[in-house]
Amino acid sequence: MSIFQFDHIHLRSADPDAMARFFETMFDAEVTRGIYPPGTLYPGQERIMLRVGGQKILIAPTHPHDRMTPAPAFPYYGLEHIGFTVADLDAAIAGLRDKGAAVAVGPLTRDAGTYLAFIRGPEGIMVELVQQRRPG
């Protein structure tokens, strides 16, 4: 039986640098920039890798061979958002607002144990922040 482990999320962006700066500024992502090498699907195109909370997010520019469509309006079917946990949601939101973040939803209590908010990023991307609370 196969064992599956999470490897990455791959975002495609009309402006990969702006997308990378958003994650770097708002969520302290570590950013590595490079170029897709010869022999890969996108040779010569910029490739950006982020590390956030120990996870990998890849950002690529527009597709080299196929027309791109705009991002759908939120909410939609498919991969809808990226979620991060935080210890103190109110403090995280205050810090993000100080950096210019657009809080799209919340903070709000979803259930007795979950306090959350959504940050709107470039090109319609949504990032959920979740604080787990002990009921009672």
Per-residue pLDDT, 28: 95
Sign for the pseudo-dihedral over CA of 29, 98, 124, 44: negative
Per-residue pLDDT, 4: 58
Q: Give the ranges where 10-79 is alpha helix by DSSP (H).
A: 16-27
Looking at the domain that runs over 8-60, which CATH code has it been given? 3.30.720
Tell me the C-alpha to C-alpha distance, in Å, between residue 10 and each of 27, 31, 56, 66, 121. Answer: 17, 14, 9, 17, 15
Beta strands in the chain (DSSP E): 8-12, 30-35, 46-52, 55-60, 82-85, 102-111, 114-120, 126-132
Q: How far is the C-alpha of 40 from the C-alpha of 38, rounded, in Å?
A: 6
Q: Say what percent of the chain tops pLDDT 90.
A: 46
- The 8-class DSSP code of residue 39 comes to T
Q: How far is the C-alpha of 66 from the C-alpha of 85, rounded, in Å?
A: 35
Q: How far is the C-alpha of 119 from the C-alpha of 126, rounded, in Å?
A: 6
> Domain locations in the chain?
8-60, 82-132
Q: How far is the C-alpha of 21 from the C-alpha of 15, rounded, in Å?
A: 10
Span 3-59, pLDDT tens digits: 757 778 888 888 899 999 999 999 999 999 998 888 777 788 888 999 998 999 989
Least confident among 2-11, 21-30, 85-94, 108-117:
2-11
Span 50-84, pLDDT tens digits: 999 899 998 988 777 778 788 888 887 777 889 99
Looking at the domain that runs over 82-132, which CATH code has it been given? 3.10.180.10
What mean pLDDT, rounded, does the chain reach? 87
Per-residue pLDDT, 48: 94
Confidence band, pLDDT 50/70/90 cuts, at residue 2: low
Q: How far is the C-alpha of 37 from the C-alpha of 98, rounded, in Å?
A: 38
